[in-house]
Amino acid sequence: MKKVLIIADWFAPENEIASIRTTKLAKYLNILGHEITVATKTIDESKIKDSLLEKDMTYLHEVIRTERGMVFRFLWNLGPFISARLIHRERNGNQEAAQESNRSKSKSGFLKPIWQRMTHFVLGYFDKLYSKKVFSTLKNSDYDIVISTYGEFAPHLIAAKLKATHKSKIKWIADFRDPVFSSLRTTNMESDLRGYFKKVAREADAITAVSQGILEVHEQDLFQEGNVITNGFDLDDIKPIAPIKFENEIINFVYVGALYQNKRDFAQFFNTINDLIKSGLFEVNNIAIHYAGRDFEILWNQASKCCLTKILHDHGYLPREQSLALQLGADVLLHASWNATGNTGVNTGKIFEYMMIKKPILSIISGNVPNSEIREMIERANIGLCYEEALKHKDDEKLKEFLIKLYQDFQSGTTITFEPNKKYIEKFDYKNIAKQFEALF
C-alpha cells in the first residue's frame, strides 16, 4: 500500500468535466489498495454539485480544502466573460455584430492579448500565494506518491515544493490534462509558459498527459519520456440512471458540453443536414438536436446559418446525472473538437463518457491537421464517424453517407447499426486507467 496525495484544482463534487479524471483516479487507486488524500480548493456551495462524483468521495482517506481567495475566483469567473466579448464577433450571426465586424476585429485583436497578459500575471500571483498556503498545510505530511494535475498552475507548483522538501522520499507524477501553451495562448506569454513546463518536466519523476498531441506540443522541453494516460469512463456512473424518453418518431441527436467560442464547430454537420433536406432525402420534422450546457447561443448561431434553429432543443446547464440521462436517451451522440497546428491532441473527456453510453457517435473536428487521435479512437472502437475539416475533400461524402444510413434505418424502423469493439473500449475504463498510473509508482 502507498500513501498517495493527489493535488488538483478540480475535484468532486464540482459539476465540471475537469473534476472527473482526478476523482475517478482517487476512487480506483483506493480500490487497488492505496490510501488516498486529496488537496484541492474549497468549493462554491452556490453552484450545482455532481451527485455521482460526491458518492466517490467515500473512497478517500482525507480531503484537504484551501480557500483560493475572492480576488482569484472573481478574475477566474470573469475571464471567460471578457474573452467571449473580445473574439471575432462576426461569427455571432447577429446584425449588430455584422455591421461592426471591422471595428470588432481591430478592437479584439488589440485588447485580447492585453487581457490575457494581465490575467496571466494577476492569476499567477494569486496562484503562488495559494501554493504557499497549501504547501504550509502539507509540508510535514508523509506521502509516498504525489500526483499533481495541470489545468491550473498551482497543483504542480505545490508538488514541486513537496518534492524539493522531501527529495527521494516522494515520487512525483506530473499529469497534464491540457497543454501549457498552444494556439489558445498569445505568443507574448510563451516564454513564461515554457519556463513553467520546463521546471515541472525537469523536477518530476514522471510526466503523464491525456493525449500524444499534448506531449508533442511540449516535446522540445521534455527531459524524459512522457506517458500517455487518457481520460476514461466509469460504468458505475450510469447504473442508477434511467434514459430520458424522447419522441420515438424522430432521430434524436444529443450534444452535451461547451463550444469554446466556436472552436467546437458544427457548421459542416448543419450544412450537410441542410443539403439533404433540400435534396428531399431528409425531412426536417424528423430530426431533433438536444443540447445541454452553457453555450446554446453559440450552437443556435451555427444552426441559424442553415435556417435549422427549429430543430434545436435547449436543456440548459444540467447536473451530470441529468446530462447522462439525456445522453442515454439519444439515438446519436454529437461530439466536436479541434486539431490544429500547435494545438493537436485535444481529446475531450466527453468522448470517453460517450463510449460507455453505447450509442453511435458523430464527431466533427475543425482545424487544419488531419488524422486526429479522436478519429483513430472512433475508428478503432467502431463507434461511429469522425469528420475532419482537414480531410474535407474525403469526409464530405462520408458524412453524407453516414447521415443517409441513419435516416434509412430510422425510416425502416430498424435499430441503428452499432457494433462497437468492446475489447478496445474496455482499456478506457477508469479501473484500467488507474492501473496505468499505479505502474508508475
- Range list of H helices, 245-336: 267-278, 296-304, 320-328
| Phi, psi (degrees; rounded to nearest 5) at 390 | -70, -15
Q: Cell numbers at residue 249, please?
A: 418518431
What's the mean pLDDT in 324-338?
96
Determine the residue type at 374. I
Distance CA 279, CA 259 (A): 29
Q: Kindly report the average pLDDT of the chain as a whole number.
A: 88
The confidence band for 248, taking pLDDT boundaries of 50, 70 and 90, is confident
pLDDT tens readout for residues 20-36: 999 999 999 999 999 99
- Domains with residue ranges and CATH for the chain: 3-234+430-438 (3.40.50.2000), 235-425 (3.40.50.2000)
pLDDT tens readout for residues 265-279: 999 999 999 999 999
Q: Which of 111-115, 323-327, 410-414, 430-434 has the lowest mean pLDDT?
A: 111-115
Burial class (CB in 10 A: 0-12, 13-18, 19+), 54: middle
| Phi, psi (degrees; rounded to nearest 5) at 195 | -60, -40
Q: List CB contacts of 95: < 8 A, sequence separation 6 or more.
A: none
pTM above 0.75?
yes
Q: What pLDDT shows up at residue 80?
A: 52
Q: What pLDDT shows up at residue 73?
A: 65
pLDDT tens readout for residues 31-53: 999 999 999 999 988 889 999 99
pLDDT tens readout for residues 61-107: 999 999 987 766 666 566 554 444 443 343 343 434 334 444 444 44
The CA-CA-CA angle for residues 333, 437, 357, to 5°, reads 15
Q: List CB contacts of 318: < 8 A, sequence separation 6 or more.
A: 48, 256, 292, 326
Q: What pLDDT shows up at residue 241?
A: 97
The 8-class DSSP code of residue 429 comes to B
Distance CA 439, CA 92 (A): 47
Q: Which residue has the cell 474496455?
A: 426
The confidence band for 364, taking pLDDT boundaries of 50, 70 and 90, is very high
What's the mean pLDDT in 353-368?
96
- Range list of H helices, 139-256: 154-166, 190-203, 212-217
Distance CA 403, CA 398 (A): 9
Q: Does the pLDDT at position 192 exceed 70?
A: yes
Distance CA 417, CA 309 (A): 28
Q: Does the pLDDT at position 411 exceed 50?
A: yes
Asked if residue 13 has a cis previous peptide bond (ω within 30° of 0), the answer is yes
What's the mean pLDDT in 137-154?
95
- b (16+ CB within 10 A) / e for 350-363: bbbbbbbbebbbbb
Q: What pLDDT shows up at residue 261?
A: 82
Determine the residue type at 423. K
3-state secondary structure of 345: coil
